[in-house]
Amino acid sequence: MRFDTEGEPRPMRRPLFFAARAAAVAAVLSACGGTPASPSMPSAASGQAASAAPSNRPLRIGTPFLSAPLDPLSGGGFHAIQFGVGETLTRLDDQFAAVPWLAEAIAQRDETTWAITLRQGALFQDGAPVTAEAVKRSLERAVEGVAGAKALLGAAQIVASDERTVQITTSRASPLLPNILTDPAFIIVNADAAQQQGDAFALKPVMTGVYQVAEFAVDQRLVLQANPRYWGGVAKTSRVEVTVLAEASARILGLQSGELDIAVDLRPESVDVASASPELKVVHAQPISTIFMYLNEQRPALADLRVRQAIAHAIPQRDVLVSAVLRGQGLPAAGQIPPSILACQNAQAPAYDLEKAKQLLAEAGYADSDGDGVVETGGAPLKLLVVSYPQRPALTPMAEIIQASLKQAGIAMEIQSTEQINSTLSAGGWDGAMYFNNMAATGDAYGSLDAFFRTGGAANRGGYSSVSIDQQLDALQPVSDRAARTAQACAIQQQLLDEAATIPLAYPNYSYGVSRQVGGFDTAHPFFLYFLNGGFSIA
- Residue 123 per-residue DSSP state: B
Confidence of residue 46 (pLDDT cuts 50, 70, 90): very low
Average pLDDT, the chain: 90
Distance CA 539, CA 532 (A): 17
Q: Which pLDDT score is estimated for 11?
A: 34
CATH classification number, 289-508, choose in 3.20.20.150, 3.10.105.10, 3.30.930.10, 3.30.70.270: 3.10.105.10
Residues of the chain with CATH 3.10.105.10: 289-508
Taking 60 as the threshold, does the pLDDT of residue 4 lie above it?
Answer: no
Nearest to 338 by CA among 440, 231, 471: 440
Taking 70 as the threshold, does the pLDDT of residue 29 lie above it?
Answer: no
Q: Which pLDDT score is estimated for 39?
A: 33
Q: Which pLDDT score is estimated for 393?
A: 84
- The structure's pTM equals 0.85
Taking 50 as the threshold, does the pLDDT of residue 44 lie above it?
Answer: no
Condensed to tens digits (0 to 9), the pLDDT of residues 329-347 reads 999 999 999 999 999 988 8
Q: Which pLDDT score is estimated for 193?
A: 98
- List all residues 6 or more positions away from 424 whose beta carbon is below 8 Å from its beta carbon: 387, 418, 430, 433
Taking 70 as the threshold, does the pLDDT of residue 64 lie above it?
Answer: yes
Residues of the chain with CATH 3.40.190.10: 54-283+511-538
Nearest to 318 by CA among 307, 309, 330: 330
Confidence of residue 45 (pLDDT cuts 50, 70, 90): very low
Taking 50 as the threshold, does the pLDDT of residue 38 lie above it?
Answer: no
Confidence of residue 53 (pLDDT cuts 50, 70, 90): low
Mean pLDDT, rounded, for 447-456: 93
Mean pLDDT, rounded, for 195-199: 96
Taking 70 as the threshold, does the pLDDT of residue 227 lie above it?
Answer: yes
Q: Which pLDDT score is estimated for 452?
A: 95
Q: Which pLDDT score is estimated for 41?
A: 39
> What CATH number was assigned to the domain covering residues 54-283+511-538?
3.40.190.10
Nearest to 46 by CA among 230, 228, 215, 173: 230
Q: Which pLDDT score is estimated for 520?
A: 96
Q: Which pLDDT score is estimated for 6?
A: 58
- 159 forms beta bridges with 167
Nearest to 512 by CA among 266, 224, 209: 266
Taking 60 as the threshold, does the pLDDT of residue 35 lie above it?
Answer: no
Distance CA 494, CA 241 (A): 44
Confidence of residue 126 (pLDDT cuts 50, 70, 90): very high
With 0-12 / 13-18 / 19 or more C-beta atoms within 10 angstroms meaning exposed / middle / buried, residue 148 is middle
Q: Please say whether the beta carbons of 131 and 118 come within 8 A.
A: yes
- 208 Cα distance to chain centroid: 23
Nearest to 146 by CA among 304, 1, 329, 259: 1
Better-predicted residue by pLDDT, 66 or 30: 66
Taking 90 as the threshold, does the pLDDT of residue 55 lie above it?
Answer: no
Condensed to tens digits (0 to 9), the pLDDT of residues 243-274 reads 999 888 999 999 999 999 999 999 889 999 99
Using CA atoms, how far residue 398 sits from 261, 335, 392, 464, in Å, is 30, 17, 11, 23
Confidence of residue 539 (pLDDT cuts 50, 70, 90): confident
| 228: three-class secondary structure by DSSP | coil
Distance CA 485, CA 83 (A): 32
- Window from 8-17, 86-95, 148-157, 210-219 with minimum mean pLDDT: 8-17
AA identity, residue 359: Q
Mean pLDDT, rounded, for 198-218: 97
Q: Which pLDDT score is estimated for 433?
A: 98
Taking 50 as the threshold, does the pLDDT of residue 129 lie above it?
Answer: yes
Mean pLDDT, rounded, for 88-102: 96
Phi first, then psi, for residue 38 (nearest 5°) are: -65, 140
